[in-house]
């Protein structure tokens, strides 16, 4: 999984953690063009509507918007084009097993630079939340915030 040592997070998908129960995460590389890499390094990426599917033994990432690089002119590509994710075969087979179960989907959680300067994507196997689950999550987060606030106030005394 993702260890936070020497990792520079470029973009997070906060909506994914709100909309889905995260079961398992994978680290995947992404097949990118040169101007896309430059644009991502500048933080011009949006994971909000993104999802992945397995097609013909390959994992493809859809609806992730990478803004065109300003100085890229003719080398820029379509901002929402499908991109191939780079995973091991055994990981892809495992993902196919999850996808065949009802209700599971592949959602990008975050994109980051690893310690070697490579762009990586954290991909989650997730199950959609119902409305009451979302309310429950919000209530739990609020109560945790109140508890932390009380503890800080008591420590100051």
Tell me the per-residue pLDDT of 36-57, one tens digit each, with 9 for 90 and over: 888 888 889 999 989 999 999 8
Phi and psi at residue 116, to the nearest 5°: -95, 5
Residues 6+ apart with CB under 8 A from 11: 43, 45, 46, 47, 110, 111
Mean pLDDT of 19-25: 90
Mean pLDDT of 13-22: 88
Measured over the CA atoms of residue 112, residue 115, residue 119 and residue 125, the dihedral's sign is negative
| Tokens 């379509």, residue located | 78
Q: Could you give all domains of the chain from N- to C-terminal order, each with its CATH number?
A: 8-129 (2.40.280.10)
Alpha-carbon gap, residue 50 to 20, rounded angstroms:
13
């Amino acid at each position: 999984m993702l260890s936070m040592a020497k990792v520079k997070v470029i973009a997070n998908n906060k909506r994914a953690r709100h909309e889905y129960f995260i079961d398992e995460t994978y680290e995947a590389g992404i097949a990118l063009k040169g101007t896309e890499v430059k644009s991502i390094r500048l933080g011009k990426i949006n994971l909000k509507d993104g999802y992945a599917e397995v097609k013909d033994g390959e994992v493809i990432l859809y609806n992730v918007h990478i803004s065109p690089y300003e100085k890229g002119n003719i080398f820029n590509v379509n901002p929402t084009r499908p991109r191939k994710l780079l995973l091991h075969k055994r990981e892809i087979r495992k993902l196919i097993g999850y996808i065949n179960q009802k209700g599971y989907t592949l959602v990008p959680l975050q994109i980051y630079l690893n310690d070697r300067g490579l762009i990586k994507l954290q991909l989650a196997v997730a199950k959609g939340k119902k409305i009451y689950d979302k309310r429950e999550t919000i209530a739990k987060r609020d109560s945790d915030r109140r508890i932390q606030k009380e503890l800080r106030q008591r420590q100051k005394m």
